[in-house]
Amino acid sequence: MSTSTPLAMSPVREAAVAAGVAAARLATTTGAQRNSALRAIARALTDRSPEILAANKRDMDDARVAGRPQAVLDRLGLSDGQLACLTDMTRDVAAMADPVGTVTSGSVLPNGLEVRQIRVPLGVVGMIYEGRPNVTVDAAVLCLKSGNAALLRGSSAARHTNAALIAVMRDAVADTAVPADAIQAVPGTTHAAVRELMSLRGLVDVLIPRGGRELIEATVRDAAVPVIETGVGNCHVYVDENSDVERALRILLNAKTQRPSVCNAAETLLVHEAVAPLFLPRALDELARHGVTVHGDARVLALAAASGVPSATGAPVVAAKEEDWDREYLAPDLAVAVVDSLDAAVEHIRRHGTGHTEAIVTESQSAARRFILALDTAVVAVNASTRFADGGQLGLGTELGISTQKLHARGPMGVTALTTTKYVLVGDGQIR
């Protein structure tokens, strides 16, 4: 009688199986136990910051040698201050209310059967993301808080930083009720490992891609595992005819220049023709002073020429190409157009927007209301910067990304977005 040796599991599948075991253990932990683990992570991030920063320096040096663009370096870098912010965020999330077990609805049927709908973890959450090592901590912290295991696949550009962060967090929870395998890096450095992760339906409960358009589209197209789609941020600021010019200028500069390399930075400015002669010369001058290259339509170019903007020391104003209206620059570039009406602005955004974040600057309540209702987008800002489309800014502690889809989660995803619900029926012998 012959016997056969079972085929060995691949490293990626082994990690997913281990994450499933960890998720089952996490499901029985209390909020207090998970919070204790998060506080241990916060302490470890502080205590072991030198090795984390040293690992990040290796990644930054490699990126510079490889000639990576400034936008990539901006996302990849991790400073003392940024690491301190991650530590503070971890403590803040630990202090937040526990979403697990929350009753979202409840009733008692005429037959006496008690019906409750409660929040429960998703299970094993896979994250695929580009060169932003802060996402490694954000994802692990939010997953642990909500009772989920995290399988993390970051960019190879941040491999040393991500490895250090994951090692620190796993060590930190070793003496807590949280299993270390609740935080894991996806093994392997090739795209084959990512493709295998995408195929593990039944072992991985959900995948969340966070990065550029190609990464998100490839994950949605190729994954057998359910995907929560985070979106590319072609975000617009529309300056209405009834707007305060000073306010509009402050909002625009913050939305574009405060940090151009992130998804909630403004990429397109639309200006109502009635206010354009007053607003645009000042806006173009300030954008030039901040080093922002403007890609303008014909009316923008004419206003720039008439007003002598920019100066010789400023960034240029160039003719916009058709593809500029669809660009997520993630850089000091801005597409600018003059529009005939609010309806024309809405039509432009519908045609070119990505459903991420759109902003209107106006003193008219009716214009704001029309803008809010007319646009199908995850976040709408009225008289505020697009940069507020952020989990930390909106009181979620941090975020896994900004979902631009409509099922399950939409907008900045905090701990609640990492839960689903189950119905609990409590009776005393009722039968149907």
DSSP string, 226-247: -B--B----EEEEE-SS--HHH
Whether pLDDT at 314 is above 80: no
Structure tokens at 148: 């989920």
337 closest CA partner among 295, 368, 367, 306: 295
Please give the model's pTM, rounded to 2 decimal places: 0.87
Structure tokens at 228: 């929560």
Tell me the per-residue pLDDT of 366-412, one tens digit each, with 9 for 90 and over: 999 999 999 999 999 999 999 999 988 888 888 888 888 888 888 98
Residue 106: predicted pLDDT:
96
Residue 229: predicted pLDDT:
85
Which of helix, strand or coil describes residue 26?
helix
Residue 405: predicted pLDDT:
84
In this structure, are residues 194 and 227 in contact, taking their beta carbons and an 8 Å threshold? no
Tell me the per-residue pLDDT of 98-141, one tens digit each, with 9 for 90 and over: 999 999 999 999 999 999 999 999 999 999 998 889 999 999 99
- Residue 246: CB atoms within 10 Å: 10
Tell me the per-residue pLDDT of 255-299, one tens digit each, with 9 for 90 and over: 999 999 888 999 999 999 999 999 999 999 999 999 999 999 999
Give pairs for 369-373: CB < 8 Å, separation 24+.
370/342, 370/346, 371/238, 371/342, 371/345, 371/346
Tell me the per-residue pLDDT of 3-32, one tens digit each, with 9 for 90 and over: 555 568 899 999 999 999 999 999 999 999
CA atoms within 13 A on the CB side of 138: 25
Whether pLDDT at 1 is above 50: no
Give the Cα separation of 325 and 96 in Å (integer). 40
Structure tokens at 26: 């996490």
CA atoms within 13 A on the CB side of 284: 32
Residues 6+ apart with CB under 8 A from 88: 42
> What is the residue type of 132?
R
Whether pLDDT at 214 is above 50: yes
Whether pLDDT at 215 is above 50: yes
Give the Cα separation of 200 and 126 in Å (integer). 10
User: What integer is the mean pLDDT of 67-84?
Assistant: 91
